[in-house]
Amino acid sequence: MDVPKNLRVLAFDLDDTLAESKCPISPQMGSALSDLLGQVQVLIISGGTYNQFETQVVEHLPRSADLSNLHLMPTCGTRYLRWDPAHGWTEQYSHDLEPGQRRTVAKVLEQEARALGVWEPQENVFGPRIEDRGSQMTFSGLGQSAPTGLKKLWDPGGDKRDRLRVAVQRLLPDLEVRSGGSTSIDITRKGIDKSHGLQMLSQVLGIELSAMHFVGDRLDPGGNDYPVKALGVSTFQVENAQACLQYVRAILDRLTLGAHPRNGSKPLPGTRGEYPPTELCTFAPKAQP
């Protein structure tokens, strides 16, 4: 789809879109996002926790960035935070799973992962495989702190995640089960996904969905970006953070000129030297705010 002519909200996935998985955004991406914040509302909506948003994005934005135009929706839009100059990032809502639901999800995830042969030996795992994020349960095949390079090799075609997602969804029909990052499965309350997040932001800002545009890497059916596409919001799929940076720069060029980018523009190959080495990009979770 084409970028809306009346573009007012630009929404992004985080891992493998704005940044490599569990890595900070590049200085170039930080500068580009800051420029976007001076012209449109920017939403970041991803399966990660708030702490990942802070560590991967917020801490790497220029000090001049207008945070009043930045909206954070961690855990696939099940939480929403806005910037308050007096109090910092302030939670607007949180659609938490019940404690009993979270226990059941953890049991089913391990049970089905073992049955399908995707429960890796402990010596191959980095950090917890199943993470309770309150409003979302997340399974990571190699653990939450696995190096990016290994994660990309674990399930490049997505078959492991797809099989696990289908098996878990069959046993948990009252919950939402989606493929997330390169090794992950995300489980949330039914109907609480990225499409819900964009609809909530539309209501809060009084901006029509037709004036929004979403950029992500998992727009395929079963991916956690797909609900946005199914909602009818205009979308653009990128393969990685380098391609996303190219696309963001194209949007900025056209915003400056009073025009908008075309989805047919081909992303230029990125330079890995712009980013931290992928083997160093791991994330150590902190306490939730």
Secondary structure of the chain in the HEC alphabet?
CCCCCCCCEEEECCECCCECCCCCCCHHHHHHHHHHHCCCEEEEECCCCHHHHHHHCHHHCCCCCCHHHEEEEHHHHCEEEEEECCCEEEEEEECCCCHHHHHHHHHHHHHHHHHCCCCCCHHHCCCCCEEECCCCEEEECCCCCCCHHHHHHHCCCCHHHHHHHHHHHHHCCCEEEEECCCCEEEEEECCCCHHHHHHHHHHHHCCCHHHEEEEECCCCCCECCHHHHHHCCEEEECCCHHHHHHHHHHHHHHHHHCCCCCCCCCCCCCCHHHCCCHHHCCCCCCCCC
Q: Of residues 279 and 116, which shows the higher confidence score?
A: 116
Residue 278 has pLDDT above 60, yes or no: no
pLDDT of residue 258: 67
pLDDT for 281 equals 55
- What fold is seen in the domain 99-189? 3.30.1240
Choose the weakest-confidence range: 40-49, 73-82, 177-186, 252-261: 252-261
CATH 3.30.1240.20-classified regions of the chain = 99-189
pLDDT for the residue numbered 285:
44
102-106, 227-231, 267-271: range with lowest mean pLDDT = 267-271
Question: What is d(CA 37, CA 67) in angstroms, rounded to the nearest whole number?
Answer: 7
Residue 270 has pLDDT above 90, yes or no: no
Asked whether residue 220 is marked as a ligand-binding residue, the answer is no
CATH class as words, domain 9-95+192-280? alpha beta
Q: In this predicted structure, what is the pLDDT of residue 224?
A: 87
Q: Which amino acid is at 75?
A: T
The Cα 153–Cα 164 span in angstroms is: 17
pLDDT at position 182 is: 87
Percent of the chain with pLDDT over 90: 80
* Cβ-contact 20, 45 below 8 angstroms: no
Catalytic one of 13, 35, 155, 225: 13
* 147 or 282: which leads in pLDDT: 147
Q: Is 15 designated active site?
A: yes
Q: What is the pLDDT of residue 148?
A: 87
Q: 186: annotated binding-site residue?
A: yes
**Quick check: 24 pLDDT over 80?**
yes
Judge whether 96 counts as a catalytic residue.
no
Instruction: Tell whether 133 is in a known binding site.
Output: yes
The mean pLDDT of 9-36, rounded to a whole number, is 96
Q: Does the structure show a pLDDT above 70 at 119?
A: yes
Residue range 167-178: average pLDDT?
96
Mean pLDDT of 231-238: 96
- Confidence class of residue 280 from pLDDT cuts 50, 70 and 90? very low
pLDDT digits (tens, 9 = 90+) for 62-99: 999 999 999 999 999 999 999 999 999 999 999 999 99
| Residue showing tokens 């790497």 | 60
16 annotated binding-site participant? no
Q: Are 132 and 105 in contact (CB under 8 A)?
A: no
pLDDT for residue 266 is more than 80: no
279 — pLDDT class (breaks 50, 70, 90): very low
Distance CA 215, CA 65 (A): 20
Question: Could you tell me the sign of the dihedral formed by the alpha carbons of 18, 24, 29, 30, in that order?
Answer: positive
Mean pLDDT for the stretch of residues 211-228 = 93
Say whether 217 counts as a known binding-site residue.
Answer: yes
Ranges for all domains in the chain classified under CATH 3.40.50.1000: 9-95+192-280
